[in-house]
Amino acid sequence: MTSLFDPLKIGDIQLANRIVMAPLTRNRSPGAVPNTLNAAYYEQRASAGLLITEATAISHQGQGYADVPGLYKPEALEGWKEVTDAVHKAGGKIVVQMWHVGRISHDTLQPNGGKPVAPSAIRAKSKTYLVNADGSGSFAETSEPRALERTELPGIIEDYRRAARAAIDAGFDGVEIHAANGYLIDQFLRSGSNTRTDDYGGSIENRARLLFEVVDAITAEIGAGRTAIRISPVTPANDAFDPNPQPLFTHVVEGLARYGLAYIHIIEGATGGARDHQQGDAPFDYAALRAAYKAAGGKAAWMVNNGYDRALAIDAVESGRADLVAFGKLFIANPDLVERLKNDTVLNTPDKDTFYGGGARGYTDYPILENVA
């Protein structure tokens, strides 16, 4: 019987176990540049089968929160090289989550104070994180976006390609395309945020066009075996909504089946909330989604996420429902989570007050087992 603690090869990446650290925004990279503190944070958690970095902007335009890292500055790539070197020295594997936030941004974070961009000029009922003049952090309403011109889309696709190449050159084992949680690609997918009338709006096929063009560009640049993607079929995060998500995401996974991706990362339910959350009239059928992917010839590892504890994760892998399980908050507080899960031992409790912004406290100072009294 397959175990949560067994090794697994995903695409071109060999993993020591099936426990994954989910991407976690921590707002500790001032100027969009990763630093030594970030390297220590990831190195501490390198016993995970796979580390997925916090969401990382592919361009200045793709930036939506203060003090989150990027892939578009030489100094940021140097910072990421320090991170990947530290993780590899500790025996771990790490991929970067590639991010364009779209409308989930603020004028003050955009190039020249411009408006955030989106498929349509619909303001999200959401907030972003800003740093105040005194250095403190706070949440603010997102700014009104402008609709992207069709002629701008090839440039965004090129930003994804260029960032993927930069990530591999910086030592990452692969990339995860962030197509979830109400950010740019997800905004194009959903009818609640995409009211375009050109060939990127209207039908499901049109709304999914940008996603597949991004996957095409990245896999052509770095190979499908080092490329993965994250989707969130029913999450309401960042004002994401579609009244009929089952056919939409069935089309998405059937299209993804033609690539030899490393993995597909599924957020089940509402991100950070109820696992049984639904949009539209019927509960979402995740088993049917995976069956549709397999029926279309898909071979990528299937990663599940949201609210998993030890028992649920073990069952997901042993039953064959998933190949990998991603943990978020538990990894914030437990850098040695793999050992704690394997031994079924006590878990540290995360300090919510230090999730966003700050320094080492609540970031790199959680105790490991040998240091727990």
Radius of gyration of the chain (CA): 19
Which residues is 129 bridged to in the sheet? 139
Which residue has tokens 């993927």?
A: 164
* 183 assigned to active site: yes
Catalytic residue among 42, 65, 129, 183: 183
The identity of residue 366, as a single letter, is Y
C-alpha to C-alpha distance for 100 and 275, rounded to whole angstroms: 25
Measure the CA–CA gap between 71 and 69, rounded to whole angstroms.
7
Sequence-ordered list of residues with C-beta below 8 angstroms from that of 29, at least 6 positions apart, any chain: 35, 38, 67, 68, 69, 76, 79
Strands 137-141 and 127-131: antiparallel
Encoded amino acid at 308, one letter: Y
Question: Beta strand 117-118 with 137-141: parallel, antiparallel or unpaired?
Answer: unpaired
CA 286 – CA 115 distance, rounded (Å): 36
User: In b/e form, how buried is each residue of 85-121, taking b as 16+ CB within 10 angstroms?
Assistant: ebbbeeebbbbbbbbbbbbbbbeebbeeeebbbbbbe
E strand or H helix that includes residue 39: helix 36-44
- Helix ranges (H only) for 90-208 are 153-169, 184-189, 204-207
Report, as residue numbers or ranges, the catalytic residues.
183
